[in-house]
Amino acid sequence: MRIGKEDCQNLDRALSLEWLETNGRGGFSSGTISGANTRRYHALLLTSPDSESTRYALVNQIEEWLQIDGERHSLSTNLYPEAVHPLGYRHCISFTSTPWPTWEFMYNGTACRRELMCVQGYDLVVVRWTVVESTSQMLTLLVRPMLTGRDYHALHHENRQLSSASTVRPEWVSWQPYHSLPPVHSFHTGLYHHTPDWYRQVQFPLEKERGLEFQEDWWSPGEFTFELDSSKEHVLAFTSEPIDTLDVMKLLHSEQNRRIHVRKGTAGSDCLLESLREATTHYVVRQGTKQTVIAGYPWFTDWGRDTFISLPGLCLVTGRHEVAWEIIRSFSSFVSEGMVPNRFPDAGKNPEYNSIDASLWFIYAIDRYLAYSDDMRRVQSVAWPTIKQILDGYRRGTRYSIHMDIDGLVAGGTPGTQLTWMDAKIGDWVVTPRHGKPVEIQALWMKALEIGARLATQFREAHYAKDCREDRARAVASFRARFWYENGQYLYDTIDGPAGNDTSIRPNQLYAISLCDDVLTREQARRVLLVVKEHLLTPVGLRTLSPQDARYCPRYEGGPVERDGAYHQGTVWPFLFGPFIASWVKTFGSTGDRKIVARSFLHGLEDHIHETCLGQISEIFDGDPPHHPRGCPAQAWSIAEPLRAMVEDLGYPITALSAMHRQ
């Protein structure tokens, strides 16, 4: 993930490449390699307090000048209305995102390195500067932090309520611009001068592109001065943690050693697999007592559906079985009326349960956990009662008219609701309601009943096992009789909807192949895959709708209404490589040349992982070439499902992360 001088000094290119650091607690640092923030979510210290379900942007950026023999040279870049100032990017000669973001700058024979890292388990970000080479005897670094103190979805503007006070003590200075938010403490190895000022009208072009407000004001409390010495490391750290027992230098060196240790074990035969495996570490977090999965950076939190689709790729194929169990256990306590939460909203609101599939993915994830861990005891005591709650809840009926119908299939949907993963909603308009019996829900339901029957037999609950087998047999028979669309030689996307059966060519039908072995004939599976390949497959994922459909949207762009309208109407999703490759391998095999063909579907991701957010895969892409990346620049299931497919379906070997994390 090394970026050379030419790209670093090309402003458009440098603005388009992002870096991401996470702390394992839901907080993160992010920005562009140019140094300029292009999103409201770019920040150095962005925290997610354990006691709350929101995040705060506390320190947005730092502005730096290297003073060589009395002459100032900027390392920073900021965007203002019709102006870029300063122009530090012009002197950046390299950037690498691994094992932590590192920039090198060159001025008149003086080379300076800037490094940045988040410390795992702490709301703590550390910036370190080192003189690489210099002919000058007088080198000084000047640094101004830029603070806001706001909800990370919001923007900040100059106001009189901000407190400009500071508390100075040896090696530390603290500010608390707003009393309702945590204070910001800064550890430093230099000198601090309190000279408050405002930096106004900072521009965020990616917010403007998304049709949102894109301008804010930053408050800068003062300036740090470091007399640079090539024999020393010069450090500035920001934290919202209590500082009485915080040893920043010890934590910095421990984090550095941990990452070097981890990277020594990452060498492998497939570069994409190793990059994906390393990227998984950003998404599994602990918030208070809850272990969970962040669906995407920078703006998503934890979603039930995303969590359990992602869990095999994030935790199981990587050997983090105990983490997988903690996630399962955490969500088990929130099951209500036979449903797993779909989302834990910001600001401490109650969990939302508007998902017909999250609970079924939960059952699937438990089964995969059991296959990897053989942990029958904990599954029986904790997970099995929850599985039965879900199965029984769907049988008798639960929220949003979700219920097992007389034909054994699962139906659901009420006016104004969106229940499947195609969940875009604009005001009262549900873009893809899919009310009735969606195809992937039937595959998940049949898989859940199969798991229920098997576990009930193992736990000597013969009557429950019999009920599951009978319900599944009825569902399979109904699926075979009703879902095959003969004229198109593929599966209906939804049946029994308000407008009848839906013949839209969508990727959801793949789950009938990837999850179930007995609902389609091999010839039917082959025909489905050929249709999907022809209409939906792209180098970076699968389209959500055929380009031949009149509702197809070729690009995901514009304001919120335009973007949400295109979200599942042709937009490409990389996570769908998971069911596609699983289905392809089941149908065509994965040995010899067939494995090469299956692996070739992922070639577009190999290029993309060096674009946008370095080392990550975007949430979505435009439906039409050149398939511009859109949405969240780092998405959990975009990483997890291709990785899972490479390991489980294509048989690539992988080193367990759990072993590499041991010190």
pLDDT for position 265: 55
Contact in structure between 210 and 560 (CB atoms under 8 Å): yes
Q: Do 383 and 431 lie in a common domain?
A: yes
Q: Do 172 and 275 lie in a common domain?
A: no
Pairwise CA distance, residues 320 & 291, whole Å: 13
Closest residue by Cα to residue 63 from 130, 143, 147: 143
283 Ramachandran zone, left/alpha/beta (phi>0; psi -120 to 50): alpha
State which residues of the chain have pLDDT below 50.
659-663
Burial of 558 (0-12, 13-18, 19+ CB in 10 A): middle
Contacts 24+ apart (CB under 8 A), 173-177: 173/221, 173/222, 174/243, 175/147, 175/221, 177/147, 177/148, 177/149, 177/219
Q: Do 383 and 437 lie in a common domain?
A: yes
pLDDT for position 344: 75
CATH number for the domain spanning 452: value is 1.50.10.10
Q: Do 281 and 192 lie in a common domain?
A: no
Q: Do 236 and 297 lie in a common domain?
A: no
Q: Do 286 and 141 lie in a common domain?
A: no
The two structure tokens encoding residue 324: 């997988």
122 to 41, 149, 226: CA distances (angstroms): 19, 18, 25
- Sequence letter at residue 82: E
Cβ-based neighbours of 253, under 8 Å, separated by 6 or more? none
Q: Do 249 and 278 lie in a common domain?
A: no
Cβ-based neighbours of 594, under 8 Å, separated by 6 or more? 585, 588
Pairwise CA distance, residues 131 & 632, whole Å: 35
At 57, is the secondary structure helix, strand, or coil? strand
Neighbours of 515 (CB within 10 A): 22
Contact in structure between 278 and 265 (CB atoms under 8 Å): no
Q: Do 528 and 395 lie in a common domain?
A: yes
The structure's pTM equals: 0.96
CATH number for the domain spanning 55: value is 2.70.98
SS3 content of the chain, % helix, strand, coil (to 5): 35, 30, 35
Q: Do 306 and 252 lie in a common domain?
A: no
Pairwise CA distance, residues 488 & 13, whole Å: 44
DSSP class of 466: H
Final residue before a domain boundary, out of 204, 233, 262: 262
Final residue before a domain boundary, out of 212, 241, 262: 262
pLDDT for position 663: 30
Q: Do 254 and 282 lie in a common domain?
A: no
The number of folded domains in the chain is 2
β-sheet bridge partners, residue 46: 28, 57
pLDDT for position 660: 41
Q: Do 258 and 280 lie in a common domain?
A: no
pLDDT digits 0-9 by tens, 401-426? 999 999 999 999 999 999 999 999 99
Q: Do 256 and 296 lie in a common domain?
A: no
The two structure tokens encoding residue 131: 């003189």
Final residue before a domain boundary, out of 226, 246, 262: 262
Give the domain range for residue 497: 270-660
pLDDT for position 261: 78
